[in-house]
Amino acid sequence: MTDAPGQEGRAGLWWLLLQAVTAGGAIDATLRVARPGAMDGLLVWIVQPVFSAACLLSMLAIWPLVLAAFHREVFIRQEPYRLVAEAQLRDAIVILQTESALSLVAADLVRNPSGLDAPVLYARDTAAIDALQSAFPTRSIWRYRHPRGEPSGELVRAAP
């Protein structure tokens, strides 16, 4: 396993692809080598289903691990929103200072309704706190950051 979050899912998908290519290559090689004759034909009819079944069974065996890794990746990416819900923030603005997961930039996490009337609004790190306070005087301002190498991020109050 790697230390970076979300890498387990990618490794599982590469393993599935490797299994499929290996089984497909073995079946293809067997079919190409087979010559006309009773034993060769029998060998093809035995080997092809066995390799196909082995490939299918290995994919079925690894599929729960791939799903678990996918669920973990989604869980990690939802961290800023989960921390906001746990803190029960209302009338707040959260500045997303860093990404929540590997290969996800902070700007991808900023999702606000068009009316800007949600209980919590999200801003990019380039937003000035003074400008946010003057535009939304009743809202408290928070920062989300997830330092690299840390298991989870944190939500810190930036302004009242």
Strands 154-159 and 92-96: unpaired
Strands 120-124 and 92-96: parallel
CA 35 and chain centroid, separation: 47
6: which residues sit within 8 A by CB, 6+ positions away?
Answer: 69, 72, 73, 76, 101, 102, 103
3-state helix, strand, coil in the chain (%, to 5): 55, 15, 30
Bridge partner residues of 121 (DSSP): 93
Report in angstroms the alpha-carbon separations of 72 from 11, 21, 69, 141, 148: 14, 27, 5, 29, 17
Q: What is the pLDDT of residues 4-63, one digit of tens each?
A: 444 555 566 666 667 666 766 666 565 555 555 545 566 666 767 777 787 778 878 888
Q: What is the pLDDT of residues 107-143, one digit of tens each?
A: 666 778 888 889 999 988 888 899 999 999 999 999 9
Q: Per-domain residue ranges for the chain?
A: 7-77, 79-159
Amino acid at 21: V
Q: What is the dihedral of CA 102, 103, 105, 106, to 10 degrees?
A: -20
Instruction: State the pLDDT at residue 5.
Output: 45
Residue 145 has pLDDT above 90, yes or no: no
Question: Lowest-confidence range among 66-80, 95-109, 129-143?
Answer: 95-109
**Contact predicate 121/89, CB 8 Å:** no
pTM of the model: 0.59
